[in-house]
Chain A
């Protein structure tokens, strides 16, 4: 099961950093139509923040069974957080730019 936080602006994301820092496992940026990391590893219960630094929209998602999520369209400057409760490996992609791919490994 994956819980997706509502979209938050970059400014709010920074303001909330202190409150959620203990739960955040990694931040992945979308820039120049690429993910900043080809792969990140986090622990179950932690989150990954996807932050759009491009001047156009992205739509990050995963269809991996048991780890699927859809961040919907993220405008430039927006961030979204995805919490992963269970171990596994999620194949992540941008729906708009399918050449953008990365993996999230969730460990104990």
Chain B
């Protein structure tokens, strides 16, 4: 039997004064206000947005000729059909090399601080060139890229239009790609409609899961705000030997620390974690509940949760409300040009 409407209203009202969020106590409405979507996308002052630049970046993003062997594009791994990832536990690069970590999504990258699982790239412009030049990824020698693009008449014209007086350069290619990537924003999700006031947008289980997320499970300590990430780096106790950010920043707390990813559209991006070792969202919840490795670098925020089975199910139901109404992605028609195997 469904609960009568008065019961739901009573339960919502009963929850109002009692939510302990971190060190604060706040109402459910105050808590929901912390998850309001932004009204605009941030672009850096040294690489401002223009529709023409984003369109050029879109072409470059989908163009496999930006790889040494001319068959891998950015979109090969950051596939829009797979939530801008590749659905694999670990990425696969040049020569079918299996990479060390899972391909992260580029969804909502405009709001990211440092990029990559270990934060080794300071911004999207830098990051665009990293995998492109890595021998095990796209394997493109960057000092040959400008000439390669310059051999394609359409790119010569387009770069001149977008970057007058500069034309084709590796830096401008990176700026265009980064600009396009910043336009990739998760769509409005049922969760957002609930935040906006539609009480029918998500289930009662998901609403309970939202409260558990912000209280007993302490997920909001890292997965905070509308994008469900504070971009922090933490060791969450996964058992593999990858020391993550410690290779970049040699501090004890950074051993096995990886970047906190967004949870937007998270149900579309299994398997999970930096190594793709956790197959489902329920398994993720189980990991945080009791499945993590205790070691000196383990984040203080990761502790046994003692969740009930219902709380675990509610958390998963909640996370599945974060899947947005994403419009179909436009795939550009690329400029015709020479096709060679030269790098």
Contacts and interface: CB of A to CB of B under 8 A. Distances in A.
A56 B253 CA distance: 14
A75 interface: yes
B119 A98 contact: yes
B231 interface: yes
Contacts of B23: 55, 76
B22 A96 contact: no
Given A70-B251, A96-B234, A98-B233, A56 B113 contact: no
A80 B249 CA distance: 21
Interface string B226-237: 000011111000
Contact of B251 (A76, A95, A97): A95
A95 B254 contact: yes
Interface string A61-82: 1010000001011011000000
Contacts of A97: 230-232
Contacts of A56: 22, 221, 300-301
Interface size class of B (residues with CB under 8 A): 20 to 34
Contacts, number: 47
Nearest to B122: A98
Interface string B99-128: 000000000000001100001000000000
A63 B22 CA distance: 30
Nearest to B22: A55
B316 to A, nearest CB: 24
A99 interface: yes
B40 to A, nearest CB: 19
B253 A59 contact: yes
B251 A61 contact: yes
Nearest to A59: B253
Contact of B252 (A72, A76, A98): A72
Contacts of A59: 251, 253
A73 B22 contact: no
Nearest to A57: B300
B113 A95 contact: no
Contact of B300 (A63, A75, A98): A75
Contacts of B232: 96-97
B299 interface: yes
A33 interface: yes
B233 A96 contact: yes
A55 B25 CA distance: 12
A41 B301 CA distance: 33
A98 B116 CA distance: 13
Nearest to B297: A73
A97 B254 CA distance: 11
Contact of A98 (B114, B221, B301): B114
30 contacts: A55-B23, A55-B24, A55-B221, A56-B22, A56-B221, A56-B300, A56-B301, A59-B253, A61-B251, A70-B251, A70-B252, A72-B252, A75-B300, A76-B23, A95-B233, A95-B245, A95-B249, A95-B251, A95-B254, A96-B234, A96-B257, A96-B299, A97-B230, A97-B231, A97-B232, A98-B113, A98-B114, A98-B119, A98-B231, A99-B231
Given A56-B301, A57-B299, A97-B230, 20 more contacts: A33-B230, A55-B221, A56-B22, A59-B251, A61-B251, A63-B249, A70-B251, A70-B252, A75-B300, A76-B23, A96-B233, A96-B234, A96-B253, A96-B257, A96-B299, A97-B231, A97-B232, A98-B113, A99-B113, A99-B231
